[in-house]
Amino acid sequence: MKRRQFLQTAGIAGVATGLAAPAIAQDKRTWNMVTAWPKNLPGPGVAAQMLADRITALSGGRLEVKLHAAGELVPGNGVFDAVSEGTAQLYHAVPSYWGSKSRGILLFGSQPFGLRADEQLGWLIHGGGQALYDEIYGRFGLKPFLCGNSGPQWQGWFRNEINSVDDLKGLRFRTTGLASEMCAKLGMAVQAMGGGDMFQGLQSGTIDAGEFIGPWTDSALGFYQVAKNYYWPGVGEPSSAEECAVNKAAYDELPEDLQQAVAYACESLYNPVWTEYSTKHAAALKQLVAEQGVQVRQLPEDVIVAMGNAAGEVIAELREDDDELVKRIVESFLAYRAGISEYMVYADNGQMNARALDYKYGG
């Protein structure tokens, strides 16, 4: 799909309603999935279609899921409410979009200086995170599942170079989730917008920089055409989980085997989606540099440290939230992060540092 087609659907529009009730005939159901993405957008749009197809396949066709891209039936930022209210049966999006519902939700999507993709799943499965995820979404009549991850995101596309913390002050920057709170503490003017609007903002100069996902998705949206400085590491989102949330009443009405089909479809796609992002990000980055003149730049260390301190302030505020459930979520996250971080110094960090040394390998 061409970038122009993405831009026509990637922006977030007004509210629309009117989806038909799910069809049930001879034990066959048809569910509507609404998404936060343009149809087949490389990365999340592709993953959403994979999920719809997998639920249908695992159910043996007894639960057919029809995908509706952002803006087709409801706007991208309206999918949470549409499923909560029963207008649609399930959605595909990211938890980072729902901070207005509860700041605790944001921790299930990404955390500045937080968990990697494998650690995020580890927290949910082995660290008590899923029970908390269920509890907070249950307030809104939803049953949530993680169903993919983009892996490490990039710090983003900048019209001008960043040489010091002072260069961040007043910078008009597109981001989302807890990363937006971190950036605001550094004096950045944070903007919330879809990918298409981000392209237009960079092109017109109404924003100075922005991050979306990573090379594969970002190249499809054409950001390299209007900003050549591509910065890493994306400390605001060391990973970004994708989720499927199901209307809980609709989920509870399913027979047990179809509930398992939905749950397993989500679980079984986490690694395929994550590894597809990683593989295609790597290929897309080489192409962006070789063919589009993109300048890959590393954030200065003092900027990273300043961002880390700002992120620490955000987490400290979450620990003092008025909502007791939010407090329990952040304490669970911090406990898991502490334990896994201590181990990863010896495990994955050690392996990656060793692999990066200068030695002959493979001829």
153 is in an annotated binding site: yes
Residue 7 CB neighbour total at 10 angstroms = 19
140 is in an annotated binding site: no
174 is in an annotated binding site: yes
256 is in an annotated binding site: no
Tell me how far apart the alpha carbons of residues 355 and 361 are, in angstroms, rounded to a whole number: 10
Q: Which two tokens stand for residue 200?
A: 């237009």
Residues 155-177 as b or e (16 or more Cβ within 10 Å = b): bbbbbeebeebeebeebbbbbbb
| Nearest one of 285, 252, 199 to 6, comparing CA atoms | 199
212 is in an annotated binding site: yes
DSSP β-bridge partners for residue 190: 173
Inter-residue long-range contacts of 357-361, CB under 8 Å, 24+ positions, other chains counted: none
Distance of CA 273 to the CA centre of its chain: 12
Tell me how far apart the alpha carbons of residues 266 and 60 are, in angstroms, rounded to a whole number: 16
Residues making up the annotated binding site for substrate are: 153, 174, 211, 237
Binding residues for Na(+): 212
Enumerate the known binding-site residues.
153, 174, 211-212, 237
